[in-house]
Each structure stands twice: as structure tokens, then as C-alpha cells.
């Protein structure tokens, strides 16, 4: 991986559980050492500007932000469509 080749991290193995390869999926969903408590989704639909915004923040039990992401979409979706799109996006 690029992060090892560029010496950002020393190993591809998760430094928390020392078991599985490090990845976004592993860090957020399958690492047994990470305790995720909440996901906060937000979205906005701006019909006059013909755009929508979507975002998510994932926190652990102490309230520490583990990951966040936001994206502007260039169409004004309905609230139910934007919720489905937000839940479908990869972290």
C-alpha cells in the first residue's frame, strides 16, 4: 500500500488489534478494539441552487471523532433520496 511505501506507517497490520490488515472498513467496522457508538448523518437540499450536501461523522464512546466525510452533489435530491445516497456511500 502507498502508506507503507511512503513510510507513513510501518506495517499493514492494524496497530490496535495486531491481527487484521489495516483498512478503512477494518478500522470502522470489524476491528474488535474499536468501539463505535454513533453515526451522525446530515444532509441539505438546496433546490434553487440545484445541489445537495451530505455528510457523516462517526464517533466512539468517548465522543472522539474516528472518521468524517462530506460531499456536495450537483443535483437537488429529495430528502429520502439523499438519505439513501448517504447510507450507500463508502466511508
pLDDT value at residue 71: 84
How many structural domains does the chain have? 2
Query: pTM of the full predicted structure?
Result: 0.50
The burial class, CB within 10 Å (0-12 / 13-18 / 19+), for 23 is: middle
Q: How far apart are CA 30 and CA 24, in angstroms?
A: 10
Computed over every residue of the chain, the mean pLDDT equals 76
CA distances from 23 to 29, 49, 54, 68, 84 (A): 10, 36, 23, 15, 24
Q: What percent of the chain has pLDDT above 70?
A: 80
Specify whether 26 is located in the same domain as 54. Answer: no
Grade residue 75 by pLDDT with cuts at 50, 70 and 90. confident
Specify whether 7 is located in the same domain as 50. Answer: no
Q: 73 Cβ partners below 8 Å, 6+ apart?
A: 51, 52, 53, 54, 82, 85
Specify whether 22 is located in the same domain as 58. Answer: no
Predicted confidence (pLDDT) at residue 43 exceeds the cutoff of 80: no
Specify whether 50 is located in the same domain as 78. Answer: yes
Specify whether 26 is located in the same domain as 65. Answer: no
Specify whether 6 is located in the same domain as 23. Answer: yes
Predicted confidence (pLDDT) at residue 85 exceeds the cutoff of 80: no
Domain extent, residue 75, equals 36-91
Specify whether 28 is located in the same domain as 40. Answer: no
Amino acid at each position: 500500500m502507498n502508506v507503507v511505501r511512503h513510510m507513513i506507517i510501518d506495517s499493514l497490520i492494524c496497530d490496535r488489534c495486531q491481527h487484521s490488515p489495516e483498512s478503512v472498513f477494518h478500522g470502522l467496522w470489524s476491528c474488535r478494539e474499536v468501539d463505535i457508538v454513533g453515526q451522525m448523518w446530515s444532509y441539505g437540499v438546496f433546490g434553487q441552487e440545484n445541489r445537495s450536501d451530505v455528510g457523516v461523522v462517526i464517533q466512539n464512546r468517548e465522543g472522539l471523532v474516528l472518521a468524517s466525510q462530506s460531499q456536495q452533489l450537483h443535483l437537488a435530491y429529495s430528502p429520502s433520496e439523499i438519505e439513501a445516497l448517504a447510507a450507500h456511500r463508502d466511508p
